Structure 1
Amino acid sequence: MTFRPRRASIVFYVADIARTERFYNETLGLTLERQEGAEPFWLSGKLEDGLEMVFFEMEGKRGDTPAVVFEVSDGGIDDIVESLAAKGVTIVTPVSEAPGGWSADFLDPDGFGLGLWQAENKPRSLK
């Protein structure tokens, strides 16, 4: 299966989501909206060019971000991860539950972390 990403988000894991919300909304003037599906909540906002920024409060992941996460808009995340692994790509996190869907993480040849995210209403496999 060939995956051709059409949309990407930059994802940050932060220590204090409320502090992050104040900084980006009040200091930088970027409008971040509170979202449900992760505790205590998560934030998302779009820049004028359409690039989405996403913030989760999470221990142990800071320093590994920001990460570029490609949306799998048509489904088939399991097939894509299987195809990447068959091509020798290092899979860091296999397909697992994420807010609103499924995600997986992998490395590019230089060790940069990349991710995939797919909405829960899309099929995990298209085979």
Structure 2
Amino acid sequence: MIPKPHRASIVFYVADIARTEAFYRDTLGIELNRLEGAEPFWLQGTLDQGLELVFFEMEGVRGNTPALIFDIAEGGIDDVVAGLVEKGVTIVTPVSEAPGGWSADFLDPDGFGLGLYQSGDKPRSLKKA
């Protein structure tokens, strides 16, 4: 069985990260943290009810941003992706390196892009060897 996601983030690909930071911080009042691991840096902010917003400076195409990303708490991203494949889910991007961890992208039945993220300090598989 595929574990139920415990948290989700909305990820935006933006043209100008400094402009985005000023807008969300100064105009909307969202506290943002600058994080390293992507060039020039990336931003993360959490709303009061726990929804996380993440911003990367990169080309975004309508339809692939914003993206809903599910966080895998305990690890095992390889196992989750294998479980999705077994259920006939289309994998767009297999497990690959992401800032601070691992990610994978897949499609829902209507073709909407969804993603998985797992921190690099968790094991990629929980299955016993």
TM-score (norm 1): 0.96
* Secondary structure, aligned partner of 2:105: strand
**Equivalent residue letter for 1:5:** P
- Give the match for residue 90 of structure 2: 90
Residues 102-121 of structure 1 show CA distances to partners (whole Å, capped at 9, x for unaligned) of 00000100111110000111
- Residue correspondences, number: 126
Mapped partners of 1:58, 1:106: distance in 2 = 20
Q: Report deviation, 1:62.
A: 3.2
Amino-acid identity (%)? 72
Q: Does the aligned pair in 2 maintain the 1:75–1:123 contact within 8 Å?
A: yes
Superposed structure 1 runs of 4+ greater than 4 Å apart: none
Task: Report the aligned-residue RMSD.
Answer: 0.9
User: Which residue matches 1:62?
Assistant: 61
Partner of 2:11 in structure 1?
Answer: 11
Amino acid at match of 1:109: P
Q: CA deviation at 1:2?
A: 1.8
Q: How does 1:1-127 map to 2 (within 5 A)?
A: 1-59=1-59, 61-63=60-62, 64-127=64-127
Unaligned residue ranges in structure 1 (runs of 5+): none
